[in-house]
């Protein structure tokens, strides 16, 4: 795709990002209305990618680890396809890229418009808490209620575990990172990356993106080294069992890739053409998938090779999905006025609007249904659980999440109405 053509299209379009920044749409350049059937003036592909990432994670949890595949290829084609669903865990990488893009998009837009960008720490956190925490809190209470109803136990360790979850610090200790719900560890990482965003802005303004991205990768390697050298001593001294894969330092560079894409869309940085290469993206993701399966089936015989692959996997997944993300955004920007987006994109975009609720609640539905109906281990029946998981998530979205999303918009409209009322206008 021609870079000049993409840049021109970006300036001709009014781009709205379905940003989780404040539950509102953040604007882009001009004001051309759309008449193509998709949401007007909105990057539908952002919602679509959210939907894809959420569905990938749901599929991975419906099927679970494919230990039931006794031979390959299996005789049942459905079993063979389902054996690949656990790779859906990689949707988490796409979520981090989207998050970095959406959070930084407001700052990038200010740069593009010639304003002096400013991110107020207190206002930023007020928006984040109002947007994300209520739905998380309600989901946490639901999981705790179900867990207590099953065990009728609540120990001092359970109280500590719950407290860490309430503070979104449960990913610090590997014994609490996956306890109440197997996906909540990523939400703790997300909040910690929001805190790191202010350090990122300082790095970006002082050193630029290349050194900032390199620095984040060094932080990741440094965390691995620190874990290797000191985790055992920290456990003996403080009784904290550090978690290597659930640490925010592991994912900071992935989040930063999304922030760089935000500035690319706003013409503040120019990405090389290969950064939007779909074939290269497919090659990287396929390579990561194959290596992951080789590790899962213990086919990497030597510990040194296994360690090297483990270190490379996050990077392969992240860069592959980043290229895919850039290509999809560029496609919509350059084609939205010419034709409708594919129906699959609009369908996944619809799911993307409540993807946060789906991410929060799907394990509750899947685990309870499997246990109640005795479907565990039956792949054909387990796949049917996807529909009730989506349905429950949508109801949860309407009742719990959507009011939190709409509140800032309603407050803004009320304030605007007061300011424009006849009694408040200058005579």
DSSP 131-174: HHHHHHHHHHHHHHHHHHHHH----HHHHHHHHHHHTT-GGGBT
Q: Which residue has the tokens 């309430």?
A: 166
Q: Which residue has the tokens 């998530």?
A: 393
Q: What is the pLDDT of residue 395?
A: 97
Which tokens belong to 197?
């965003």
Residue 174: pLDDT band by 50, 70, 90 thresholds? very high
| 242 three-class SS | strand
Q: What is the pLDDT of residue 388?
A: 93
Residue among 394, 323, 386 at smallest CA distance from 354: 394
pLDDT surpassing 50 at residue 363: yes
Q: What is the pLDDT of residue 210?
A: 95
What DSSP string runs through 187-233? HHHHHHHHHHHHHHHHHHHHH-HHHHHHHHHHHHHHHHHHHHHHHHH
Residue 408: pLDDT band by 50, 70, 90 thresholds? low
- Name which of 166-175, 275-284, 290-299 the model is least confident about: 290-299
Residue-wise pLDDT for 319-338, tens only, equals 999 999 999 999 888 876 55
Q: Of 366 and 377, which is predicted with more confidence?
A: 366
Overall average pLDDT of the 399-425 stretch? 65
Q: d(Cα 21, Cα 131) in Å, to the nearest integer?
A: 8
Q: What is the separation, in whole angstroms, between the first and last Cα of the chain? A: 53
- Name which of 33-42, 105-114, 184-193, 258-267 the model is least confident about: 33-42
Q: d(Cα 237, Cα 123) in Å, to the nearest integer?
A: 38
User: Over pLDDT 70: what percentage of the chain?
Assistant: 80
| 26 three-class SS | strand
pLDDT surpassing 60 at residue 421: no
- Name which of 21-35, 169-183, 230-244 the model is least confident about: 21-35
The CB density around residue 35, as the number of other CB atoms within 10 Å, is 9
Q: What is the pLDDT of residue 12?
A: 46
Overall average pLDDT of the 87-113 stretch? 94
Q: Which residues contact 393 (CB under 8 A, 6 or more apart)?
A: 354, 357, 358, 360, 361, 362, 365
Q: Of 23 and 191, which is predicted with more confidence?
A: 191
Averaged pLDDT of the chain: 83
Burial class (CB in 10 A: 0-12, 13-18, 19+), 306: middle
Q: d(Cα 79, Cα 367) in Å, to the nearest integer?
A: 20
Residue-wise pLDDT for 336-356, tens only, equals 655 677 889 999 999 999 999
Best-predicted range by mean pLDDT (63-67, 238-242, 304-308): 238-242
pLDDT surpassing 50 at residue 35: no
Q: d(Cα 12, Cα 22) in Å, to the nearest integer?
A: 25
Q: Which residues contact 233 (CB under 8 A, 6 or more apart)?
A: none
Q: d(Cα 52, Cα 216) in Å, to the nearest integer?
A: 27
**Contact present, 128 and 408 (Cβ < 8 Å):** no
Burial class (CB in 10 A: 0-12, 13-18, 19+), 293: middle
Q: d(Cα 96, Cα 292) in Å, to the nearest integer?
A: 19
- Name which of 12-26, 52-66, 110-124, 249-263 the model is least confident about: 12-26
Overall average pLDDT of the 292-303 stretch? 75
Overall average pLDDT of the 60-83 stretch? 66
| 180 three-class SS | coil
DSSP H or E stretch at residue 241: none
Residue 5: pLDDT band by 50, 70, 90 thresholds? low
Q: What is the pLDDT of residue 426?
A: 45
**Contact present, 51 and 26 (Cβ < 8 Å):** no
Alpha-carbon separation of residue 121 from 17, 129, 178, 196, 199 (angstroms): 22, 12, 29, 11, 12
Which tokens belong to 62?
């419906």
Q: Of 4 and 319, which is predicted with more confidence?
A: 319
Q: d(Cα 332, Cα 15) in Å, to the nearest integer?
A: 10
Q: What is the pLDDT of residue 78?
A: 73
Global confidence as pTM: 0.87
What DSSP string runs through 99-120? HHHHHHHHHHHHHHTT------
Q: Of 311 and 73, which is predicted with more confidence?
A: 311
Which tokens belong to 281?
């993206």
Q: d(Cα 369, Cα 389) in Å, to the nearest integer?
A: 10
Residue 43: pLDDT band by 50, 70, 90 thresholds? confident
């Amino acid at each position: 795709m021609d870079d000049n053509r993409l840049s021109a299209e970006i300036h001709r379009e009014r781009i709205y990002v379905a940003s989780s920044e404040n539950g509102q749409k953040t604007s882009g350049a001009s004001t051309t209305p759309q008449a193509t059937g998709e949401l007007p003036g909105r990057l539908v592909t952002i919602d679509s990618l959210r939907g894809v990432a959420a569905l990938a994670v749901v599929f991975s949890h419906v099927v679970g680890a494919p230990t039931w595949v006794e031979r390959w290829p299996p005789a049942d084609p459905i079993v063979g396809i389902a054996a690949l669903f656990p790779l859906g865990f990689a949707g988490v990488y796409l979520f981090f890229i989207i998050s970095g893009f959406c959070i930084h998009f407001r700052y990038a837009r200010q740069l593009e418009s010639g304003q002096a960008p400013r991110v107020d720490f207190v206002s930023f956190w007020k928006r984040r808490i109002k947007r994300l925490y209520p739905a998380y809190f309600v989901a946490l209470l639901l999981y705790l209620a179900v867990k207590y109803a099953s065990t009728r136990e609540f120990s001092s360790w359970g109280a500590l575990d719950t407290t860490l979850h309430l503070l979104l610090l449960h990913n610090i200790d590997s014994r609490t990172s996956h306890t109440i719900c197997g996906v909540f560890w990523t939400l703790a990482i997300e909040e910690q990356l929001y805190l790191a965003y202010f350090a990122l802005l300082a790095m970006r303004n002082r050193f630029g993106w290349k050194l900032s991205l390199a620095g984040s990768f060094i932080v990741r390697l440094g965390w691995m080294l620190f874990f290797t050298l000191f985790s055992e001593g920290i456990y003996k001294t403080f009784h904290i069992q550090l978690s290597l894969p659930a640490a925010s330092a592991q994912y900071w560079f992935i989040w930063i890739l999304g922030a760089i894409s935000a500035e690319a869309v706003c013409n503040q940085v120019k990405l090389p053409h290969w950064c939007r290469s779909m074939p290269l993206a497919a090659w990287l993701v396929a390579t990561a998938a194959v290596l992951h399966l080789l590790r899962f089936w213990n086919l990497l015989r030597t510990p040194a090779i296994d360690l090297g692959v483990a270190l490379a996997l996050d990077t392969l997944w992240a860069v592959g999905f980043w290229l895919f993300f850039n290509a999809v955004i560029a496609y919509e920007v350059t084609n939205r006025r010419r034709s409708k987006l594919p129906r699959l994109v609009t369908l996944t975009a619809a799911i993307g609007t409540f993807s946060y609720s789906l991410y929060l609640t799907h394990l509750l539905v899947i685990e309870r249904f499997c246990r109640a109906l005795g479907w565990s281990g039956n792949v054909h029946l387990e796949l049917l659980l996807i529909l009730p998981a989506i349905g429950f998530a949508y109801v949860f979205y309407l009742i719990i999440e959507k009011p939190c999303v709409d509140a800032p918009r309603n407050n803004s409209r009320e304030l605007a109405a007061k300011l424009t009322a006849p009694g408040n206008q200058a005579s």
